[in-house]
Amino acid sequence: MGKIELTKEQMAQLFGAVLFGGLFVYLYLFFFWFPTSKKIEENTAKVESMQRDIDKAKELKKKFKDLEGKLESLKAEREAAVKKLPSGKNIPELIRTITRLSRKYRLNVVAINPSGQSKVEYFTKVTYQIRVNGNYHDIGRFLTALGLEERILTSENLSMTAAGGDYSASATFTLAAYQYSG
């Protein structure tokens, strides 16, 4: 086999092809491959970061398995506490409670008079002077039922006297209703 001899024209074409090929590779690398490679690296880093966040969230979920259940139970406890210690006076509901219990225990409510309020650290004590007529035992059941209500109510300064007519006793007491003042 002999040597291949190229003419000057063929050499120029070969040099031009190599130069054009080199230029093409250079342009391909700097305008396509390197920017794409950089984006791939950035996206890979983002994916790894997101995966770490997901793994952390899974660990927290394992740590707090029933976080939503706990939140729901705390909301239920809060609702129960609000019923026991509302943030307002809620006078209509209080009057309905007194009326309902007085009917249940066959008492006649003669008077309900507001007598003031006093502020304590976390709550306000609102007092009402109440006078009822009825049977001695029914008055006792009525006062017990007031104390067992869902809302915190207490009876204070009870004064009972004998009554004539249809009722055997008359009672005057201070009803204290508590409200949250946080």
> Tell me, what's the pLDDT at 173?
94
Which of 168, 182, 180, 154 minimizes the C-alpha distance to 83?
180
pTM for this model (two decimals) = 0.58
Instruction: Report the domain count for the chain.
Output: 2
> And the tokens for 182?
């946080």
> And the tokens for 172?
């005057």
Verify that 139 and 97 share a domain, yes or no: yes
- Over residues 60-104, the pLDDT tens digits come to 877 777 777 777 888 888 777 766 666 666 788 888 989 999 999
Does 70 map to a domain? no
Domain membership of residue 13 as a residue range: 9-65
Does 142 map to a domain? yes
- As a whole number, mean pLDDT of residues 47-68 equals 83
Q: 158 or 122: which carries more pLDDT confidence?
A: 158
- As a whole number, mean pLDDT of residues 121-126 equals 83
Does 73 map to a domain? no
The Cα-based distances of 171 to 45, 67, 106, 161 in angstroms read 80, 51, 14, 6
- As a whole number, mean pLDDT of residues 111-119 equals 88
